[in-house]
Structure 1
Amino acid sequence: MDLTVLYRGPLASCDYDCPYCPFAKRRDSPERLRADRAALERFAGWAAGQSGDRLRILFTPWGEGLVRSWYRRTLVELSRLPQVERVAIQTNLSCRTDWLAEADLDTVALWCTYHPGQTPYERFLGKCRELAGRGVRFSVGIVGLPEHREHARRLRAELPEQVYLWVNAAEGHTYTDAEAAGWTELDPLFPYSRHPHASAGLPCRTGESVISVDGDGTVRRCHFVRAELGNLYDGSYRAALRPRPCPLAVCDCHIGYVHLETLPLYDVFAGGVLERVPANLAAHTGLKLLRS
């Protein structure tokens, strides 16, 4: 079986205090952290046992995972499994980077987000340069708020040229054409994020070759559709995998709409869907990344 898995366990704590995030500065109890660790270890054990499958795994924790040793260790272990084609995680990059020396760099990847006001710019940029120096696959992004514009321009100018800078449209924010054009200068793919995508009745890879898994092993087609397909650990989900249209009116999150078959994003991100690394950005957009 060829399967992409989006995993989100009980972890909900974060070391940042972003005003646009409901999990800012949230603390998990020791009991919840132990439960998260046990759930992650169980999931890693399942992945290790899937020797007949080809797996791509993206960790999408509500909180920040890489400040926890069990996430760092799990990424290293999974990266060394022959059946794992890619293992990636969304992160604010507040952790150290030396642990990546133990990982298979052909398999592991990071989806990094810069949050202005939460960490010094030079510290974040330095971490990105460390990743590039280690040969780690990664993308860097920012939320497209007006007050983040100059931070994004500076990042694009100072990041290594091969690093893709993505911009997420801010939730609830309406962009004028001029504002959208400014963000598109920095991220040629910003138009895909600017508006929610009508998705009702459209074919989507989720529920067929892409699944969402929680800490208990409950399988859903994606993070945004609550209907259950079965459980990962008893294998009951497998019989439910099949092509199915999206039941929601719109899809407005990249980790959801990237899997819509009506969008060309599997071609744009060929080989880098999970870590949001385009294969050849200019070829797919007709635009060039501008060093603003």
Structure 2
Amino acid sequence: MDLTILYRGPLASCDYDCPYCPFAKRRDSRAQLAADRAALERFAAWAAAQREDRLSLLFTPWGEGLVRSWYRRTLAELSRLPHLRRVAIQTNLSCRTDWLDTADLDTLALWCTFHPGQTPYDRFQAKCRDLAARGVRHSVGIVGLPEHLEVARRLRDDLPAHVYLWVNAAEGQTYTDAEAERWTALDPLFPYSRHPHRSAGLPCRTGESVLSVDGEGTVRRCHFVPAELGNLYDGSYRRALRPRACPLAVCDCHIGYVHLETLPLYDVFAGGVLERIPAAPEFRPTITTRGRPAR
């Protein structure tokens, strides 16, 4: 079967200090880092040994994974396995990029987020140019705070036209229609992020073909529903795989609501669900943001 797994190990440290993130500038001890490395290597060994499933993996660490050598090495190694359809990770792109030379770029993809105030704009943009030159599948995004609007417009101008710029609605932020229109001009899919999605009782792929796994191998339907379905490493989770309705009132995170069967996002992101890359070119607008067309 085709199985999508969102993996989140114990890593919680990050090199950035974003005010909207509870894990900003948190440091893991050596013991915590060693535990995270061991957990990741165990998960990677399990994924490598699978023969009955075709796997798609998205790594969603609370901290920044790619500044750690074991994440770079693991993603590159997994990308070269024939039964892996996609290997992707969420990253702030502060890491080195030469490790990508060892990866299979038909399989590997990056979900990149720009955090203004945490890194110089030109440095981040240089990393994006490097990814494009290497032919790395990637999307780029930003949190839709009012103070980020101008730099988001600059980012859209400077990114290649084929690179999708996504905008996440800021947590707790209420957008007027006029404000939402400004963000939608940059990301035509912003309306999906603007409001939480009512999900209670609605069919969702999580728990059937999409799973969340933590560092202990505990399997849940998604990161946001605490009920356990079993364990990855003893195979007990397989007995629990079945269609399920969402038990939560709302779903307000892209990595959750993208899997709702009542939304068209599997068609919108066909072939790029995990790395957040739309299939259709109309979601990559050529707009004028600073007096000149976006490239």
| 2:18 aligned residue | 18
CA distance in 2, matches of 1:145, 1:53: 40
Are 2:224 and 1:224 equivalent residues in the alignment?
yes
Which consecutive segments of 4 or more residues in structure 1 shift more than 3 A?
Answer: none
Residues 131-184 of structure 1, C-alpha deviations (whole Å, 9 max, x = no match): 000000000000000000011000000001100000000000000000000000
Q: How far off is 1:289 after superposition?
A: 4.3
Residues 191-228 of structure 1, C-alpha deviations (whole Å, 9 max, x = no match): 00000000000000000000000000000000000000
Are 2:263 and 1:263 equivalent residues in the alignment?
yes
Q: How far off is 1:60 after superposition?
A: 0.1
| 2:280 aligned residue | 280
What TM-score comes out, normalization by structure 2 length?
0.97
Asked whether the 8 Å contact 1:36–1:215 carries over to 2, the reply is yes
| 1:118 aligned residue | 118
* Secondary structure, counterpart of 1:275 in structure 2: coil
* Secondary structure, counterpart of 1:46 in structure 2: helix
| 1:247 aligned residue | 247
* Secondary structure, counterpart of 1:276 in structure 2: coil
* Secondary structure, counterpart of 1:237 in structure 2: helix
* Secondary structure, counterpart of 1:212 in structure 2: strand
Equivalent position amino acid for 1:203 in 2: P
Asked whether the 8 Å contact 2:186–2:285 carries over to 1, the reply is no
Aligned length: 289
Asked whether the 8 Å contact 1:198–1:251 carries over to 2, the reply is yes
Structure 1 residue ranges without an equivalent (≥5): none
| 1:71 aligned residue | 71
Q: How far off is 1:53 after superposition?
A: 1.2
Asked whether the 8 Å contact 2:11–2:36 carries over to 1, the reply is yes
CA distance in 2, matches of 1:150, 1:79: 36
CA distance in 2, matches of 1:276, 1:269: 7
| 1:176 aligned residue | 176
Asked whether the 8 Å contact 1:268–1:281 carries over to 2, the reply is no
Q: How far off is 1:290 after superposition?
A: 2.0
Structure 2 residue ranges without an equivalent (≥5): 290-295
CA distance in 1, matches of 2:286, 2:55: 31
| 2:292 aligned residue | none
| 1:33 aligned residue | 33
* Secondary structure, counterpart of 2:236 in structure 1: coil
Aligned pairs for 1:42-61 within 5 A: 42-61=42-61
Are 2:191 and 1:191 equivalent residues in the alignment?
yes
| 1:290 aligned residue | 287
Asked whether the 8 Å contact 2:7–2:212 carries over to 1, the reply is yes
| 2:153 aligned residue | 153
Percent sequence identity is 82
Equivalent position amino acid for 1:141 in 2: G
Equivalent position amino acid for 2:86 in 1: R
| 1:202 aligned residue | 202
CA distance in 2, matches of 1:244, 1:129: 41
| 1:214 aligned residue | 214
CA distance in 2, matches of 1:51, 1:36: 25
